[in-house]
């Protein structure tokens, strides 16, 4: 197998279709199909399940996907090392992020960094905090930006951006715009995010300090990550804690409101996470340095 075939396979898996992969690679769909079939003949079994509407990897395809990401990352690292005759950042920058920074901070930062450094290609992958950290540990990602830390000696966390956590309620809710007691919160139907979500970890820690466990809440719904949880709150199924960054648009539009809970002042840091034992790429270091400048100038003063 060659790296071109692996790149094609990764595009099919991550975009979910042969046609989307072909568009991304600038080739024809038959060319994509031929490369995947060549890989499958070489390995002796199907790598893509074509039975559904979305092309999905088989069990063996999942294994190949993990290794393909590593091999492509090594290709990019080689290209970077061979181009060290210039101080201008170059290469492929892949950043994994949890939903808070991934949806509301990183797109602007990556876009701005790419505009300032045209020789850089950028990719953003958004997932739950726990999944991003797992991929850093598995060496599938060099850099993650997440909303909670994990105690692991192989991981290196650094503060990235400070964020408040707010209790969001439906527009017109009796909690809107006022302070509520912890007892009122416990009685109110709650929408909670899935285990592993950064916001849920922060709130669990904050409630634990107040002597409350997550099972003490009146949980009406577990709604995945922030976007699905917002939809549930807007529909009136309960109240939910969110990153302040995640609800700015809804607050401006008036579809959500916020409340304060007496005795709780949840806040969190977004952290960059890398493997402590992994060699540092100049491109990644340059991106983090650029982020520190831009966040100090643009983002931090805008936080409520």
Give 189-214 pLDDT, tens digit per residue. Answer: 999 998 877 788 888 888 998 888 88
109-163 pLDDT, tens per residue? 999 999 999 889 999 999 888 899 999 998 888 999 998 888 888 999 999 988 8
304 pLDDT tier (thresholds 50, 70, 90): very low
User: Does the pLDDT at position 89 exceed 90?
Assistant: no
User: Does the pLDDT at position 250 exceed 70?
Assistant: yes
- In a domain? residue 282: no
Neighbour tally for 179: CB within 10 Å: 11
Both tokens of 209, joined, read 């300090």
Contact 271, 157 (CB under 8 A): yes
Q: Residue 50: phi, psi to the nearest 5?
A: -100, 10
220-241 pLDDT, tens per residue? 999 888 889 999 999 999 999 9
The CATH number that applies at residue 181 is 3.40.190.10
Determine the average pLDDT of the residues in 15-36: 91
- In a domain? residue 119: no
pTM of the model: 0.54
| CA dist., res. 270 & res. 288, Å (int) | 13
Contacts of 67 (CB under 8 A, 6+ apart): none
> Structural domain of residue 34, as residue ranges?
1-77
pLDDT of res. 150: 87
Determine the average pLDDT of the residues in 19-30: 90
Strand residues in the chain grouped as ranges (E): 48-49, 56-57, 91-97, 120-126, 143-146, 155-170, 179-180, 189-192, 218-222, 240-243, 256-261, 267-275
The CATH number that applies at residue 6 is 1.10.10.10
pLDDT of res. 298: 61
pLDDT of res. 301: 38
Instruction: Give the burial class of 159: count Cβ atoms within 10 A of its Cβ; 0-12 exposed, 13-18 middle, 19 or more buried.
Output: exposed
pLDDT of res. 84: 58
Query: How many domains, in total, are found in the chain?
Result: 2
- In a domain? residue 272: no
- In a domain? residue 141: no
- In a domain? residue 231: yes
303 pLDDT tier (thresholds 50, 70, 90): very low
| Percent of the chain whose pLDDT exceeds 70 | 95
Contact 40, 55 (CB under 8 A): no
Please indicate whether residue 77 or residue 85 has the higher confidence score (pLDDT): 77
- In a domain? residue 134: no
- In a domain? residue 299: no
6 pLDDT tier (thresholds 50, 70, 90): very high
- In a domain? residue 11: yes
pLDDT of res. 225: 80
pLDDT of res. 47: 94
Per-residue exposure over 56-77, b if at least 16 CB sit within 10 Å of its own CB, e if not: ebeeebeebbeebbeebbeebb
pLDDT of res. 302: 38
User: Does the pLDDT at position 13 exceed 50?
Assistant: yes
User: Does the pLDDT at position 299 exceed 80?
Assistant: no
174 pLDDT tier (thresholds 50, 70, 90): very high
100 pLDDT tier (thresholds 50, 70, 90): confident
Q: Do 73 and 169 share a domain, yes or no?
A: no
């Amino acid at each position: 197998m060659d790296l071109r075939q692996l790149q094609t396979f990764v595009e099919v898996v991550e975009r979910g279709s042969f046609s989307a992969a072909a568009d991304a690679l600038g080739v024809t769909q038959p060319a994509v199909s031929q490369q995947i079939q060549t890989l499958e003949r070489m390995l002796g079994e199907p790598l893509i399940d074509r039975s559904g509407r979305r092309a999905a990897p088989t069990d063996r395809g999942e294994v190949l996907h993990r290794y393909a990401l590593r091999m492509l990352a090594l290709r990019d690292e080689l290209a970077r090392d061979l181009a060290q005759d210039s101080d201008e950042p170059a290469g492929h920058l892949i950043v994994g992020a949890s939903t808070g920074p991934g949806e509301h901070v990183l797109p602007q930062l990556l876009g701005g960094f790419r505009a300032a450094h045209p020789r850089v290609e950028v990719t953003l992958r958004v997932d739950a905090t726990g999944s991003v950290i797992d991929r850093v540990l598995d060496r599938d990602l060099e850099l993650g930006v997440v909303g909670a830390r994990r105690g692991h000696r192989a991981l290196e966390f650094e503060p990235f951006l400070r964020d408040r956590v707010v209790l969001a309620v439906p527009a017109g809710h009796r909690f809107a715009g006022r302070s509520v007691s912890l007892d009122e919160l416990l009685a109110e139907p709650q929408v909670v995010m899935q285990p592993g979500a950064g916001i849920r970890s922060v709130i669990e820690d904050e409630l634990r300090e107040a002597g409350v466990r997550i099972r003490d809440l009146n949980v009406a719904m577990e709604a995945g990550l922030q976007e699905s949880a917002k939809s549930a709150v807007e529909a009136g199924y309960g109240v939910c804690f969110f990153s302040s960054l995640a609800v700015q648009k809804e607050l401006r539009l008036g579809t959500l409101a916020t409340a304060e809970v007496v005795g709780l002042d949840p806040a969190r840091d977004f952290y960059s996470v890398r493997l402590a034992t992994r060699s540092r790429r100049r491109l990644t270091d340059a991106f983090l340095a650029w982020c520190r400048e831009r966040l100090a100038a643009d983002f931090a003063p805008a936080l409520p």
